Amino acid sequence: MSHAKLLCNRILLGLMCWIFTLGLLYGCQTPVYVSEPPSEPIKFKKILVLPFNDVTMMSGDTTDTRCPVCGRVLITGEVAAGAANYLTHQSIALLKQHTGYQVVFDRSVRGSPGALYSADKTTAAVKKAFADRGRDNDADVVLVGFVYRFRERVGKGYGVESPASIAFEIHLMRVVDGRTIWSAHLDETQESLGNNLFQLGSFLSRGGRWLTAEELAMSGLEKIFEKFPKS
């Protein structure tokens, strides 16, 4: 083999290693944001979990929606049937797995989010409604979630026409004053390596396949509740 060809092969190998390393460094990152808890100690024992709210039921056909609790704007889209219920029950399971708090689930507002918030309510009014619900259940804090997008993949695990795409957020509010003491959100559409080489590590960690919307959501939920505040 000529010196020039050997040099070319070494350069190519080095480039491939560099891309792979960047993929591992950046691909393992996820579009999950978890806020840091307040610096002062958080003291609570009983958590009231409210069902996730499908904000598309409240916002209609808008392409983006402002969170009624924090004001963050997320792009809305198709929300698959049962998505809110899935997120609610997985959150409860992970909450019990990662913490020792007493968890109470309020089923009374399921399917009727407008009972607690609506587009014409101010942020202060929404927070008060959630805090009041927590007070009615003798809880110290209230955990509430909103789902903006939960689109299922079109295709199979190793070849899709359209990937899964999800967006949701979770807020933990103190009952005594309605203050948000912790929050998290996930906004992700799975990408192919051809579109984003930096997703290599994440793609490989997921078995090198396209996830369902539920699998994509569960991957984010696990990271979120690993960082849930401890009292």
Any domain includes 169: yes
pLDDT digits 0-9 by tens, 146-186: 999 999 877 765 555 678 899 999 999 999 999 999 999 99
pLDDT digits 0-9 by tens, 18-43: 444 434 333 334 578 888 766 666 78
pLDDT digits 0-9 by tens, 59-98: 665 678 888 888 888 889 999 999 999 999 999 999 999 9
Residue range(s) defining the domain that contains residue 128: 3-226
Any domain includes 118: yes
DSSP symbols for 82-146:
THHHHHHHHHHHHHHHH---EEEE-GGGTT-GGGT--TTS-HHHHHHHHHHHHHHTT-SEEEEEE
The domain total for the chain is 1
Any domain includes 163: yes
Any domain includes 180: yes
Any domain includes 11: yes
Any domain includes 231: no
State the pTM of this model: 0.77
Q: Give yes or no for a contact between 123 and 173, defined as CB atoms under 8 angstroms apart.
A: no
Q: What is the mean pLDDT of the chain?
A: 77
